[in-house]
Amino acid sequence: MGEQVVLIKLNGAILYNMFRRGLMVLEENREAVDILNVFPVPDGDTGTNMVLTMRSALKEMEKVESNSLSELVQAASLGSLMGARGNSGVILSQLLRGFAKGLEGKTEINALEFAQAMQIGVSTAYKAVMKPVEGTILTVSREVAQGALEMAKKTNDILAVLDAAVANGEEALIHTPDLLPVLKRAGVVDAGGKGFIFILRGLREAADNAAKDKDLEGRPTDSVRPEITMDIARSTQSQPAAESDSVIEFQYCTEVIVKGQQLPLEQLRQDLALLGDCLLVVGTEQLAKVHLHSNNPGLVLENCLKYGSLHQIKVDNMQEQHRAFEESGLVRDLAQSESISAETTDVAARTAVTNDSAQDQFSHRQIESPSAIISEQVDKKVGLVAVAAGQGIGEILRSLGVDEVVEGGQTMNPSIEDLVQAINRVSTSQVIILPNNSNIVLAAEQAAKLVEKEVKVVPTRSLAQSISALVAFDLDASLEDNYQSMLAGSKRAKSGEVTFAVRYCQLDDLDIKANQIIGIANGTIKVAGEDPAQVVKDLLQQMVEEEDEIITIFYGEDVEANQAEELAAALSQDFPNCEIELHHGGQPLYHYYIAVE
C-alpha cells in the first residue's frame, strides 16, 4: 500500500492549475449540464454560460506575469465578472469574487484559509441575488463550503478538504429537486449546481497532481474571449448643456398612445410638426407613441384622433413646472432636459418612422442617414438598452425608442461586459436596461453596478413585457419615475412562446414528445401539438380574456411570411374583438412570440 498523498499549502501556480483543470472538466461535461433544463425547450445553456464565464476568468489570469496567489485570484474575479453570462455564470463570478476577497494579500494558503475563502464566496453570491432561491447553485455552493470548513477544522490536508467539499456538494445536488418543485416535476437536478460540481472535481484532480509533483503543462487551446479590462466600466459623461434663457415657448407637454390600423406615421409627423417642438413619433402601423411640446394640446389630440383611438393621454403644464423649478433653484436642469435645436425639429418633421409595407415596416433602420432613428433627435434624460434575439425584434425595439440593442436571448446570453459596453455607448448619464429574459436579469443588475452612470433594470422576462414597458416610457420623466411606470407596464403584459421540445417530458397533464411543438404562456407549458400555427391558436384560447384588445404575433426565422399572414387571418376570425398585429421578429428556434394586451 503506497504512502498517503497530502497537500498542506496552496500557492499561486497550484491554484492556477486547479482553475485551469476545473474549466477543462466543465468543458468536457458541458452538454451534460446544458441538457438539465427544467423545460424541454431549446435554450438549455447553463453549461455553456458557465464555460464562457470560466474561460474569461482564465484569460484574465493568463495576463498575470507573476505567480502571486493574490494577483491571480483577483484576476480570476475580474475576468469572471466581466465575462459572466446567465444567472449561473453571474453567481459563479460572485463565488469567485468572494473567494478572491478572502485571499487578498496572501502568497500561499493552508486548508483552513482555503475553506474560509470559500465561505466568503458563498456569502458574496447570496448577497448578489435579490431573492436567493434554494435548490440552485447557491444551495450546492453553500453545502460545498460547509463541507470544506468542517473538514478543515479536523485536518490540514487540502485534498481531504476538497474531497469533503465535493461529497457535500454532490449530496446537496441530489436533493435540489426536493427544494425546488419545478426541478422535481421535470425530473432533473439543478444545472448550475451540477456545473459547479464538475469545476470542483477539476480542482481536486489538479490539487492531487500538485501533491504528486505532476505539473499540468500548457493552457486551454479553445478560443477565449477578447482581452477585457475595467476601462470599459468607465462611462464618458456628456458635457453640460448651455444655460437656458428661462423662456418656455410652448406651454404644454402632450403625450398620447395612438392605436389603429395602417397608421400613417409620416403624415402624423407632418401634421404635428407645425404645432410645436420636441416632436417624437415612434411605433408601428398599429401603435404609435406621440410626444410634443405645444400651446394647443387639444389640437394635437384632434390630429391624432383622425388616425386612430387615443390612450394614456398625458398633458403637463410646463410653465407651472418651470416656475416650481425656478423657485427651488433647479431651473437649469429643466432647461437642459427640454432643450432641442430648431434644426433637429425640422429634420424630425421630415423623417418617416415606418414604411407602407407591413412586412417591411421596420426597414427604415437600414437607411444610412442620421435622421433614420427618430428617438435620437430629441434630447433624452434617460437612455434605453434592451436585449433582443433576431434582427426584426431589434428593429422593433429601436422603433420604440431603444438606444442600444444587445444581441442575445434564449440560446446565447450576453455577458456582463457586453451590457456594460452598451450602457456606455448610450449618450445619457442615466440608463434603463430591459433584459427581456429571466436568465439575463442578474447579469444586467451586475452590469448596472460596474458603470459610473445611474442605471436601473426593469426585469422584463419576455418581448411582450419589454414592449409594454416601452409604451410606458416618458421622454420627460425622471429615471425613477420611468422605472416605476415601466415596471408597472411590464407587469400588465401576457407573454406566449411557441417552440419545439428537445426531449421527452411529462408536465402535469401533458405528455410531451421530443421535437413536438409546445406553447408556453407566462413561463408555463400549456399546449403541445404537431403544427406551430395550431399551437398558437390553442395557446391563445387559454391566454385571451374578455377585456383583452390586442394580440401581437412575432414570427421567427423559420416561419415563412405567407404562413404568418395566414395565421393572422385565422386569428382575426377566432378573436373578432381583438386587433391582430403581425411582425417579423426573425428570432431563432422560437416559431412565434406572442403578446396579449
Task: Quote the Cα angle for 496-596-488, to 5°.
Answer: 100
Q: Select the highest-mean-pLDDT range: 234-248, 277-291, 321-335, 358-372.
A: 277-291
Residue-level pLDDT at 150 = 97
Buried b / exposed e over 387-408, threshold 16 CB at 10 Å, is bbbbbbbbbbbbbbbbbbbbeb
- Assess whether pLDDT exceeds 50 at residue 494: yes
Tell me the average pLDDT of the chain. 82
**CATH code linked to domain 10-220:** 1.25.40.340
Of residues 308, 304, 249, 248, the one with CA closest to residue 280: 304
Of residues 25, 98, 85, 15, the one with CA closest to residue 50: 85
Give the SS3 label for residue 238: coil
| Terminal C-alpha separation, the chain | 72
Q: 63 or 376: whose pLDDT is higher?
A: 63
- Assess whether pLDDT exceeds 70 at residue 358: no
User: Taking the CB of residue 319, how many other CB atoms lie within 10 A of it?
Assistant: 12
List, as one string, the DSSP characters of 193-237. HHHHHHHHHHHHHHHHHHHTT----S---S--PPP--GGGGS--P
| Whole-angstrom distance, CA of residue 512 vs CA of residue 430 | 45
- Assess whether pLDDT exceeds 80 at residue 44: no
Does the CA dihedral 286-287-293-299 come out positive or negative? positive
Q: 111 or 348: whose pLDDT is higher?
A: 111
Residue-level pLDDT at 368 = 27
Bridge-based pairing of strands 382-388 and 287-294 is: unpaired
Q: How far, in whole angstroms, is CA 596 from its chain's centroid? A: 21
User: Taking the CB of residue 77, how many other CB atoms lie within 10 A of it?
Assistant: 25
Grid coordinates in use for 188? 432533473
Q: Give the range among 117-121, 244-248, 528-532 with minimum mean pLDDT.
A: 244-248
Does the CA dihedral 533-537-539-544 come out positive or negative? positive
Of residues 374, 44, 340, the one with CA closest to residue 195: 44
| Whole-angstrom distance, CA of residue 73 vs CA of residue 589 | 38
Residue-level pLDDT at 516 = 92
- DSSP state, residue 85: B
| 336 in Cβ contact with 240 (< 8 Å) | yes
Of residues 258, 267, 326, the one with CA closest to residue 286: 258
Report the length, in residues, of the chain: 597
Q: Give the range among 21-30, 44-53, 203-212, 280-289 with minimum mean pLDDT.
A: 280-289
User: Per-residue confidence at 323, pLDDT binned at 50, 70, 90?
Assistant: low
Q: Give the range among 24-38, 446-460, 475-489 with minimum mean pLDDT.
A: 24-38
Residue-level pLDDT at 327 = 53
Q: What is the pLDDT of residues 510-562, one digit of tens each?
A: 888 888 999 999 888 999 999 999 999 999 999 999 888 889 999 998 999 99
Q: What is the pLDDT of residues 255-296, one digit of tens each?
A: 888 888 888 888 888 889 888 877 777 666 777 778 888 889
Residue-level pLDDT at 80 = 94
Q: Which residues contact 195 (CB under 8 A, 6 or more apart)?
A: 26, 29, 33, 46, 47, 50, 88, 92, 137
- Assess whether pLDDT exceeds 90 at residue 488: yes
Domain at 380-492, CATH homologous superfamily: Phosphotransferase system, mannose-type IIA component (3.40.50.510)
User: Per-residue confidence at 350, pLDDT binned at 50, 70, 90?
Assistant: very low
Percent of the chain, pLDDT > 90?
A: 52
Residue-level pLDDT at 461 = 92
| Whole-angstrom distance, CA of residue 472 vs CA of residue 114 | 49
Q: How far, in whole angstroms, is CA 89 from its chain's centroid? A: 13
| Whole-angstrom distance, CA of residue 121 vs CA of residue 145 | 9
Residue type, 324: A
- Assess whether pLDDT exceeds 50 at residue 434: yes
| Whole-angstrom distance, CA of residue 300 vs CA of residue 450 | 42
Q: Which residues contact 368 (CB under 8 A, 6 or more apart)?
A: none
Q: 490 or 235: whose pLDDT is higher?
A: 490
For domain 496-596, give the fold.
Hypothetical Protein Tm841; Chain: A;domain 3 (3.30.1180)
294 sits in which H/E element = strand 287-294
Average pLDDT over residues 210-233: 44
Residue-level pLDDT at 361 = 31
- Assess whether pLDDT exceeds 90 at residue 219: no
Q: Which whole-number Å values give the CA distances from 303 to 95, 336, 466, 534, 578, in the listed order?
A: 57, 29, 28, 40, 24
Bridge-based pairing of strands 592-596 and 454-457 is: unpaired
- Assess whether pLDDT exceeds 80 at residue 377: no
User: Per-residue confidence at 487, pLDDT binned at 50, 70, 90?
Assistant: very high
Q: What is the pLDDT of residues 67-95, one digit of tens each?
A: 999 999 999 999 999 999 888 999 999 99
Beta bridge mates, 276: 294
Residue-level pLDDT at 240 = 32
- Assess whether pLDDT exceeds 80 at residue 336: no
The residue written with cell numbers 407651472 in the block is 320
517-521: strand order across its sheet: 524-529, 517-521, 494-500, 592-596, 550-555, 579-584
User: Per-residue confidence at 98, pLDDT binned at 50, 70, 90?
Assistant: very high
| Whole-angstrom distance, CA of residue 176 vs CA of residue 170 | 10
- Assess whether pLDDT exceeds 60 at residue 469: yes
Q: Give the range among 19-23, 114-118, 334-338 with minimum mean pLDDT.
A: 334-338
Of residues 374, 376, 375, 380, the one with CA closest to residue 339: 380
Residue-level pLDDT at 266 = 82
Q: Which residues contact 231 (CB under 8 A, 6 or more apart)?
A: none
Percent of the chain, pLDDT > 70?
A: 81
